[in-house]
Structure 1
Amino acid sequence: MATSNLDQQGLLGSGGFDSDTEDDENDSSAMSLIDHLEELRKRIFMCLIFVAIGTIVAFIFHNNLINLLDAPLPLSANSIGGAHGHKLTLSGLGEGFTVAIKLSIVFGLVFALPMILYQLWAFIAPGLYDREKKHAVPFIIMGLLLFAIGVTLAYFILQYPVSFLVNFGADSFNELISANSYFSFVAFFLLIFGAIFELPLVLTFLAMIGIVTENFLKSKRAIAHVCLWAASTVLTPGADLYSPLFIGVSLSVLYEFSILLIHFVVKKDPEDALA
């Protein structure tokens, strides 16, 4: 009788173990390394498709894109070029085509940014808690909005560093600005501003994983503003007065917005709330 009971318990225990094992194997969240790599490959491929679509569309309208981006260039640039004034120069046989391709790829990356952020979120979402998942979509939308604001602001102030750099040696030199050097400068300037405007999301993420807190950012506010204004002078490609001013003001506003965002998004610890 005792043996029978033990056998029954053993069978039940064995059945329970097999059931748990089977549940783990059937759990959709339990993925092997190969499965993760395969999923990552599919998501990267989807991002590349959107980059390719954006690149093709931009290349079709590359003349419009070039006209839009060279608008901040002052008329005094390349003045020896005749009636066209600030028309850019080409230093090689295929440079015009290369510049068009580079601009198209940059636009393709910007065009695919929503899909890239979505695929990144979808890849890491299974490993997040429910309270973290609910912030993902608002963060993606806010990240795109902040990036768009940063790029738009950069475009309107682009004329100041460009004008300064073009006119700096105008009395001594006839500067011939190549299309490759100019559009590389423009792309760098726009992307720097777009990345800078992601500061609130970076600080909020650091707060969510416990590296920084709202009270810590408040206590270091004065030092942070000084460092941000110092960084604004380094991040500016040109040496004009206006670009660091715009970047410094933007960084200070974004820092304060980060504190406000953390206050409403990140749950405070009891000890931190009493501090």
Structure 2
Amino acid sequence: MPLRAHIRELRNRVLLATLGLLAGAVVGWAFYPQIFAALQRPVVELASRRTEVIALNFGGVATPLDMQIKVALFAGVILSSPWWIYQLWAFVTPGLTRRERWTTIGFLAAGVPLFLAGAGVAWMVLPMAVGLLAGFTPQDAVNMIDAQVYLGFIMRMVLAFGLAFLLPVVMVGLNLAGLVRGSTWLGGWRWAVLLTFVFAAIATPTADAISLFALALPMVALYFGAVGVCALHDRRADRRALLDEDTGAASDPADRSAAAEPA
């Protein structure tokens, strides 16, 4: 596919993914009260256990509206994840054979649950992170948490965890497209483990080891699982290529003898 066609395809996929996100954001707007109640629950539960005042603060006149828009878009990203994950895969499939395009079902069956699993891990870690960070508040002080800062904190954690869990799916996709072999992924496992822990340390805002390992260990396991899938695909592809070569070599003498026979 020419470069211009690749750019056009990318533009179309981004547009379709954006439309899906906006559709999910409409649903998020409609259910904003329920979503916001769930988002602030860690703060409410923490405030009920401590003596000092801890609450979300809307610091401006337009802040509640801005907050509702951002929450709706955040919900749209989560709700439309099957759609934009499919668009990501559909951008890769033009480089695949017709047989390999059937893996779209497997890609979605793996990608969507992995993204949601990563977001779920972040949601489980979130109360602990909020409690640990707010725990530094002095005894008789007031901790009025800026609502937009708090939302940005949650969005970074949930999306970072969710996208991190998509790494093995991207690895397998690049392998199916013939861009990276499984042996290449395996050869860089030391760097992969190191970068995984660095990413986990950055993505988890708390300094506790539980949050770090809760993200890093599943990512490492998923990385090696993807390496195994890539290795199996490479073995089948190499076997198929060798069989094609043998079939072609076996047919050459017959073709030459047929061509040498007098008409």
Q: Scaled by the length of structure 1, what TM-score is found?
A: 0.72
Larger fraction in helix: 2
Cα shift readout 1:6-60 (whole Å, capped 9, x = no counterpart): xxxxxxxxxxxxxxxxxxxxxxxx99x69x84x7776655444432322121112
Residue pair 1:78, 1:88 contacting (<8 A) in 2 also: no
Residue 258 of structure 1 is matched in structure 2 by 226
Residues in 2 aligned to 1:64 and 1:45: alpha-carbon distance in whole angstroms: 29
Q: 1:220 to 1:118 in 2, by over 3 A?
A: closer
Counterpart mapping for 1:237-248 below 5 A? 237-248=205-216
Matching of residue 75 in structure 1 with residue 47 in structure 2: yes
Residue pair 1:218, 1:259 contacting (<8 A) in 2 also: yes
Residues in 2 aligned to 1:40 and 1:218: alpha-carbon distance in whole angstroms: 29
Structure number with bigger Rg: 1
**Which region of structure 1 is more displaced relative to structure 2, 99-108 or 171-180?**
171-180
Cα shift readout 1:121-159 (whole Å, capped 9, x = no counterpart): 456545532233122231123111100111011101111
Note the residue ranges of structure 1 that are not aligned, 5 or more in a row: 1-29
Residues in 2 aligned to 1:253 and 1:97: alpha-carbon distance in whole angstroms: 41
Q: 1:171 to 1:213 in 2, by over 3 A?
A: farther
Q: 1:242 to 1:78 in 2, by over 3 A?
A: same
Cα shift readout 1:205-256 (whole Å, capped 9, x = no counterpart): 3333455433344444455334422432233222223211211211221122
Counterpart amino acid of residue 152 in structure 1 = G
Counterpart mapping for 1:41-60 below 5 A? 46-60=16-30
Note the residue ranges of structure 2 that are not aligned, 5 or more in a row: 243-263
Residues in 1 aligned to 2:29 and 2:175: alpha-carbon distance in whole angstroms: 41
Counterpart amino acid of residue 218 in structure 2 = S
Residue pair 1:229, 1:251 contacting (<8 A) in 2 also: no
Residues in 2 aligned to 1:257 and 1:225: alpha-carbon distance in whole angstroms: 13
CA RMSD of aligned residues (A): 3.2
Residue 147 of structure 2 is matched in structure 1 by 179
Residue pair 1:165, 1:239 contacting (<8 A) in 2 also: no
Cα shift readout 1:181-204 (whole Å, capped 9, x = no counterpart): 111100110000001101111222
Residue 129 of structure 1 is matched in structure 2 by 97
Q: CA deviation at 1:95?
A: 0.8
Counterpart amino acid of residue 159 in structure 1 = P
Q: Give the length in aligned residue pairs.
A: 236
**Which region of structure 1 is more displaced relative to structure 2, 191-200 or 56-65?**
56-65
Residue 31 of structure 2 is matched in structure 1 by 61
Q: 1:77 to 1:56 in 2, by over 3 A?
A: farther
Q: Scaled by the length of structure 2, what TM-score is found?
A: 0.75
